Amino acid sequence: MIIDLAGKTAFVTGSTRGIGLAIAKALYGAGAKVGVVGRDVERARSVAASLGDRAAGVACDVAKADQVDAAVAAAEAVLGPIDILVNNAGLTRDNILLRLTDADWDTVLDANLKGAFHTIRSTIKGMMKRRSGRIINIGSIVGLTGNKGQANYAASKAGLIGLTKSVAKEYASRNILVNCIAPGFIETDMTDALPTEARATLLEEIALGRLGRPEDVAGTVLFLASDLAAYITGQVLVVDGGMVI
């Protein structure tokens, strides 16, 4: 079966670069209309223009509920009701716990976890009415394993798993399927800063012997957004090349 998302509208947060951009490209390639979302409207619009005329760029900080509601409304006005929501926007403020400030904690939890709550609340009513929807949350392997120096980030990603499972249970009767993808180490701006030595050590732990590419995550999103995944909800799919087995 070929994945065909023609007629569907996707809204992908954090799709101006990295994993989100690969997700937007994959969904667009499968025929979906795509809302490209970042904090900078010009950047979001230029990425959308590079995809093609079935894409529109809108801006919001996902941590801000009013901005999310406005961005969802703006995307729906151009592209139609959202069928596929991908909560990919995320950021890090890494430090050992003793040095984490309240601001480091709040910034990460507000964007990574509360942001997903905001977008789900803003889009799920429409999905309920149409009795159809897919919500795909991009978590992280560290949400399952924890990680030194990332207590705030790991907590936000573990929280996304609880959110995923709860919303999956609440809305399964409306045919809204909610899943979480937990990527391992994927090469993007977020992981660029990692020193060469740490990179080499990490590589030794990855069974498939290579770092992940944004497309590795995008392929899994495409699957979960498609009819192929019609009987999967409330799950966490690990996409880490066998880093944690």
Residues with catalytic annotation?
153
Q: Which is nearer to ligand NDP, 62 or 177 (CB)?
A: 62
Are 81 and 132 in contact by the 8 Å Cβ rule? The answer is no
| Alpha-carbon span 115 to 92, nearest angstrom | 14
CB of 24 to ligand NDP, least distance (A): 10
Which residue lies nearer to ligand NDP by CB, 14 or 35? 14
Three-state SS annotation for 166-194: HHHHHHHHHCEEEEEEEECCECCHHHHCC
Nearer to ligand NDP, 150 or 226 (CB): 150
* Residue 206, phi then psi, degrees to nearest 5: -95, 115
Q: Nearest distance from residue 4's CB to ligand NDP, in Å?
A: 26
Cβ atoms of 164 and 175 within 8 Å: the answer is no
- Between 91 and 128, whose beta carbon lies closer to ligand NDP? 91
Q: What is the contact surface with ligand NDP in residues (CB under 6 A)? A: 13-20, 38-40, 43, 61-63, 88-91, 111, 138, 140, 183, 185-186, 188-191
